[in-house]
Amino acid sequence: MPPAQARAFDLQGHRGARWLFPENTLEGFAATAALGVPTLELDVGITADDVVVVCHDPALNPDVVRDAAGNWLPQRGPRLRELTLAELRRYDVGRLRPGSGYAATFPEQAPRDGARIPTLAQVLQACPSTRFNIELKTFPLQPEITIDGGQLAEAVAAVADACHAADRIIVQSFDWRGPRRLKRTRPDIAVAWLTRKETIAAARAWWACDAAASVPQAVAAEGGPTWGPVFTDLTEAHLAEAHRLGLRVVPWTVNHPQDMRRLIDWGIDGLITDRPDLALQILRSKGLMAS
């Protein structure tokens, strides 16, 4: 295996570029790709009529979603799995709810009124030269919310095949059942293993992993090649261990320039950020991406 740093730095825009544009929308993905961001991260769920759609939340989020009459949802709405695609497409996700904490977190996000929750197929077709890191939003401890992680992974692979895009996707999840399924059935599709403290504790309960294994060792035991830790948990020692195991390390969600610089200097292999515009500037200044 070549040294991890021998491959290009993988800058990934989180949900497109959530700092700048409405998350997980066609409008946001196109605008982010136009900045020169090579990979766009997104989240997927599945509708009642089995269409893979791009949405972070398993149920409609009142901080993001307006109904067909333009009214903000008064509370959390129906689950994606309870709506057909036609029903889902009535909702507007182009603007954060004014006055919400979420809107205050992303004050520079430029609205795109009328934006709809897209299908995965629409996104793959709209940005034909962009890579996508597709996060499976499945919930092993709450199976009633949506389908099984392995099933959603297979559904994503089928969409990618129909769009001739299997060679430009990564499939990642905190629910390791999805990437684990693809490792077996679709070794041609790249996968990544997301972690945070809760995931590791739960994963050990589901799969009886070696309790003494470190997180990088657990990811390597799954076959890698990419580990996606929350950046606040990542230490330089973890990174070195992961590299010794042949893993690439792509932490999330790194939004502050000082954190980007520190992690880049440690030798991370990519990062996921709501601010890929800032990350591009930093990477170019360090000669890690072409201008």
Q: Which residues make up the interface to Mg ion (CB under 5 A)?
A: 43, 135
Q: How far is the CB of 31 from Mg ion (least distance, A)?
A: 18
Q: How far is the CB of 134 from Mg ion (least distance, A)?
A: 9
Q: How far is the CB of 41 from Mg ion (least distance, A)?
A: 6
Q: Which of 136, 131, 152 is nearest to 51 (CA)?
A: 152
Closer CB to Mg ion, 177 or 243, in the complex: 177
Closer CB to Mg ion, 135 or 175, in the complex: 135
Closer CB to Mg ion, 72 or 203, in the complex: 203
Closer CB to Mg ion, 72 or 231, in the complex: 231
235-239 CB contacts, 8 Å cutoff, 24+ apart = 236/266, 238/214, 239/266, 239/267, 239/268
Q: How far is the CB of 253 from Mg ion (least distance, A)?
A: 8
Closer CB to Mg ion, 203 or 243, in the complex: 203
**CA separation for the pair 29, 164 (Å, rounded):** 19
Intra-chain end-to-end CA distance of the chain, in Å = 28
Closer CB to Mg ion, 165 or 272, in the complex: 272
Q: How far is the CB of 42 from Mg ion (least distance, A)?
A: 7
Q: How far is the CB of 78 from Mg ion (least distance, A)?
A: 21
Q: Which of 189, 209, 218, 247 is nearest to 7 (CA)?
A: 247
Q: Are 133 and 172 in contact (CB under 8 A)?
A: yes
Q: How far is the CB of 240 from Mg ion (least distance, A)?
A: 26
Closer CB to Mg ion, 28 or 243, in the complex: 28
Q: Using only the alpha carbons of the chain, give its radius of gyration.
A: 18
Closer CB to Mg ion, 147 or 288, in the complex: 147
HEC string for 112-169: CCCCCCCEHHHHHHHCCCCEEEEEECCCCCCCCCCCCHHHHHHHHHHHHHHCCCHHHE
DSSP 8-state code for residue 187: T
C-alpha dist (Å) from residue 282 to 108, 214, 250:
20, 31, 16
Q: Which residue is nearest to Mg ion (CB)?
A: 135
Q: How far is the CB of 249 from Mg ion (least distance, A)?
A: 17
C-alpha dist (Å) from residue 276 to 69, 102, 202, 230, 282:
34, 19, 31, 17, 10
- Sorted by sequence, the CB contacts under 8 Å of residue 173 that are 6+ apart come out as 135, 136, 137, 138, 149, 153, 179, 193, 194
Tell me the sheet residues that pair with 12: 39, 272
